[in-house]
Amino acid sequence: MDLVLDLDGVGKDFSAGPFFARRRTAAVTEVSLRVHAGRTVGLVGESGSGKSTLGRMAVGLLTPDRGRVTVHGQPLSSLTPKKMRPFRRTMQMVFQDSSNSLNPRMTLEDLLVEPFRAQDLHTRAERRHRAAALADEVGLARSGLARLPHEFSGGQRQRISIARALALEPDLLVADEPVSALDVSVQAQILNLFKDIQQARGFAMLFVSHDMAVVEFISDQVAVMRAGSLVEFGSRDEIFDSPREPYTRTLLDAAPSL
Amino acid sequence: MHTTTEPVLRVSGLSARIGDLSLVRDVGFEVHRGRTLAVVGESGSGKSITAAAVMGILPPQIKAEGSVFFDGTELLGEPARRRRARGGAEIGYVFQEPMSALHPLLRIGTQMIRPLRHHLGLSRGEARDRALELLEQVGLGGERKVLDAYVHELSGGMRQRVMIAMAISCGPRLLLADEPTTALDPTVQQQILRLLVRLREELDLALVLISHDLGLVARYSDEVLVMYDGRVVEQGLTAQIIEQPAQPYTRALIDAAPRLGRRVDRLPTIDRAVLDQTRAMAGGV
């Protein structure tokens, strides 16, 4: 299988505290993790576990203080800003709060065309054509192409974010709590959409969530983080049927699933 | 079952509207001492409007009709002054976001002591002792410093414990918790819900739990009220409804949630037809 994301001993520190007594704390100590093409690794942990920090390092939004992030054989640290820009096509991210990541004054069509414009790809006509195709792919009606973000529901806005992330055909998608703010019925639709699109396109996905049941549904493999460290990693069945770490068991036990 | 005793809270024929737009229609339920009723629904179902009507904190442009009967008194239409005296003392409230429900510039102690002095007429010293007792009751006993802390210095779980301590401080008979754990980590969420259930038993309270989370409702409530589009779809004993929902909407809502141990390839989504049918059945258009 094709290795897409290779995190090798990756760590990140943040400073905290008053100015003269500033302390450095490790948000992520040293984590190694691999994600292959067509596969989903679910990353679970509670707030402060470092799961979002790790996700951001994986797509180059944060630079690690330790270790190495390699995407498709390309170490991100060796990319100059000039080379990074075109390389960003290969890795995309979907956030929890889609309404904050969409420009409120852009129509759906503008929003879907923007990724191509940013990368200077295709002719104008071709961009519009692709925008319409993306709308179809994520289940948004073409009749809504002229609408503004606030005219869409939360679930539809998350579809827009997914479409934007997919526009440049990334090899790696990092989704950070993409369904946490959604109602159960909408969450089911969006989770199905993630599965369908991944099956169709075959990208590698790192799916960050605090919800054990969601992670069980979406993942092939699962990584459990606590206080900046990876405490357990295994196939979905291993983690959910016979977790080795007591902490994983605690998380499973606390999950208010039916 | 406590059907022989008087309910602490009886809501009947409750409707709320903004102008011509109906938000909640003909909602009714009862809660008894020592029992937990969960009100569950997705956004727009009317569960929070229902809660706000019971709490008497509906925005002025929303007009409510019907009856909210609490411990022998009709609350709906009660003068604001009387209502304020009751709110916080006889009915305790726990909100989703303690960060915004607590005052950012006042120490926790100050905020806890005020209602104790106002409602119970305690002296400053007595109120402080009572506040410490209350913190002990919600599991912050070893944390003397909490009284002198500001909200932002506490963790999410501690803030919610403080909220709960304040909600029970004046001996309420009814505790209303509106999404009390939605913003919390699962392990903390579990602790807070166990705390609420324990307090309900110890203090013999009636607990109303508003939530969007069926899994949580299944675990922590005795009775449940399922709402959709401002109306009650189904109500009854939680175990029974989760096990064998009578309404297709409830069934669909249960199935749509990812469930531990159920490894399906796709999640069933809620049919348009089920939604239309549910709306029609509940007497809507």
CB contact under 8 A, B269 and A213: no
Residues of A in contact with B261 (CB under 8 A): 216, 240, 257
Q: What is the value of ipTM here, to two decimals?
A: 0.83
Cβ atoms of A236 and A71 closer than 8 Å: no
Report the pLDDT averaged over residues B142-156: 85
A46, A250, A252 ranked by CB distance to B260: nearest: A252
The string of pLDDT tens digits covering residues A105-121 is 999 999 999 999 999 99
Tell whether B170 is within 8 A of chain A (Cβ): no
Cβ atoms of A192 and A12 closer than 8 Å: no
Average pLDDT, rounded, for chain B? 88
CB contact under 8 A, B190 and A254: yes
Rounded to whole angstroms, how far apart are CA atoms A197 and A210?
22
The string of pLDDT tens digits covering residues B61-80 is 999 999 999 988 898 888 77
Q: What is the dihedral of CA A104, A105, A108, A109, to 10 degrees?
A: -150
**Residue B22, strand partner residues:** B17
Rounded to whole angstroms, how far apart are CA atoms B6 and B273?
39
Tell whether B251 is within 8 A of chain A (Cβ): no
Rounded to whole angstroms, how far apart are CA atoms B230 and A153?
18
Rounded to whole angstroms, how far apart are CA atoms B268 and B265?
10
B189, B252, B260 ranked by CB distance to A257: nearest: B260
pLDDT at B206: 95
Rounded to whole angstroms, how far apart are CA atoms B35 and B192?
17
- pLDDT band of residue B4 (cuts 50, 70, 90) is low
Q: Would you list the DSSP string of B241-280?
A: HHHS-SSHHHHHHHHHS--TT---SSPPPPPHHHHHHHHH
CB contact under 8 A, B43 and A183: yes
CB contact under 8 A, B257 and A211: no
Tell whether B273 is within 8 A of chain A (Cβ): no
Tell whether B272 is within 8 A of chain A (Cβ): no
Nearest CA in chain A to B253: A185
Give the amino acid at B252: A
Class for the domain spanning B9-248: alpha beta
A21-38 burial, b at 16+ Cβ within 10 Å, e below that, comes to eeeeebbbbbbebbbbbb
A183, A189, A251 ranked by CB distance to B186: nearest: A251
- B277 alpha carbon, distance to own chain's centre: 28
Q: Which of B71, B61, B66 is nearest to B6 (CA)?
A: B71
Chain A residues contacting B via beta carbons under 8 Å: 46-47, 154, 183-185, 187-189, 191-192, 195, 210-214, 216-217, 236, 240, 250-258
- pLDDT band of residue B157 (cuts 50, 70, 90) is confident
| Distance between B258 CA and the closest CA of chain A, angstroms | 5
CB contact under 8 A, A211 and B258: yes
- What the block records as the tokens of B182 is 């939605």
pLDDT at B77: 81
pLDDT at B26: 94
Cβ atoms of A227 and A51 closer than 8 Å: no
Name the maximum alpha-carbon separation found in chain A: 57
Q: Are strands A74-75 and B73-74 parallel, antiparallel or unpaired?
A: unpaired
- pLDDT band of residue B227 (cuts 50, 70, 90) is very high
Report the pLDDT averaged over residues B180-192: 86
Q: Which of B72, B112, B78, B121 is nearest to B92 (CA)?
A: B112
B39-77 burial, b at 16+ Cβ within 10 Å, e below that, comes to bbbbeebbbbbbbbbbbbebeeebebebebbbbeeebbe
What percentage of residues in chain B have a pLDDT greater than 90? 53
pLDDT at A149: 92
CB contact under 8 A, A185 and B270: yes
Each residue's pLDDT, cut to its tens digit, for chain A (258 residues) gives 799 999 999 999 988 777 777 778 889 999 999 999 999 999 999 888 999 999 999 999 999 999 999 999 999 999 998 999 899 999 999 988 777 889 999 999 999 999 999 999 999 999 999 999 999 999 999 999 999 999 998 889 999 999 999 999 999 999 999 998 888 889 999 999 999 999 999 999 999 999 999 999 999 999 999 999 999 999 999 999 999 999 999 999 988 777
Report the pLDDT averaged over residues B160-187: 89
Nearest CA in chain A to B271: A185
Q: Per residue, what are the HEC states of A159-206?
A: HHHHHHHHCCCCCEEEEECCCCCCCHHHHHHHHHHHHHHHHHHCCEEE
- Cα-based distances in Å from B176 to A128, B38, B131: 51, 10, 20
Residues of A in contact with B259 (CB under 8 A): 213, 257-258
Residues of A in contact with B263 (CB under 8 A): 216-217, 236
CB contact under 8 A, B185 and A46: yes
B188, B189, B253 ranked by CB distance to A185: nearest: B253
The string of pLDDT tens digits covering residues B24-66 is 999 999 999 999 999 999 988 999 899 989 888 888 899 999 9
Residues of B in contact with A51 (CB under 8 A): none
Class for the domain spanning A3-254: alpha beta
CA-based torsion, A168, A169, A172, A175: positive or negative: positive
A183, A191, A257 ranked by CB distance to B267: nearest: A191
Name the percent of chain B in helix, strand, coil, to the closest 5: 40, 25, 35
Residues of A in contact with B216 (CB under 8 A): 256
**pTM value?**
0.88
Residues of B in contact with A46 (CB under 8 A): 185-188
| Distance between A147 CA and the closest CA of chain B, angstroms | 22
Let me know if B232 is exposed, middle or buried by CB neighbors in 10 A (0-12, 13-18, 19+).
Answer: buried
CB contact under 8 A, B186 and A188: no
Q: Which of B45, B153, B159, B185 is the best substitution to test chain A (most A C-beta atoms within 10 A)?
A: B185
Query: 3-state DSSP call for residue A45?
Result: coil
How many CB atoms within 10 Å of residue A129?
12
A192, A214, A254 ranked by CB distance to B189: nearest: A254
- Which residue reads 């912050």 in tokens? B140
Q: Which of B141, B191, B201, B203 is nearest to B167 (CA)?
A: B203
Residues of B in contact with A253 (CB under 8 A): 190
CB contact under 8 A, B186 and A254: yes
What percentage of residues in chain B have a pLDDT greater than 70? 96
pLDDT at B285: 42
Tell whether B54 is within 8 A of chain A (Cβ): no
How do the domains of chain B map onto residue ranges?
9-248
Rounded to whole angstroms, how far apart are CA atoms A210 and A46?
6
How do the domains of chain A map onto residue ranges?
3-254
- What the block records as the tokens of B206 is 């009636």
- pLDDT band of residue B283 (cuts 50, 70, 90) is low
CB contact under 8 A, B187 and A254: yes
Rounded to whole angstroms, how far apart are CA atoms B13 and B231?
11
- What the block records as the tokens of A28 is 């992520």
CB contact under 8 A, B259 and A257: yes
pLDDT at A222: 97
Cβ atoms of A188 and B268 closer than 8 Å: yes
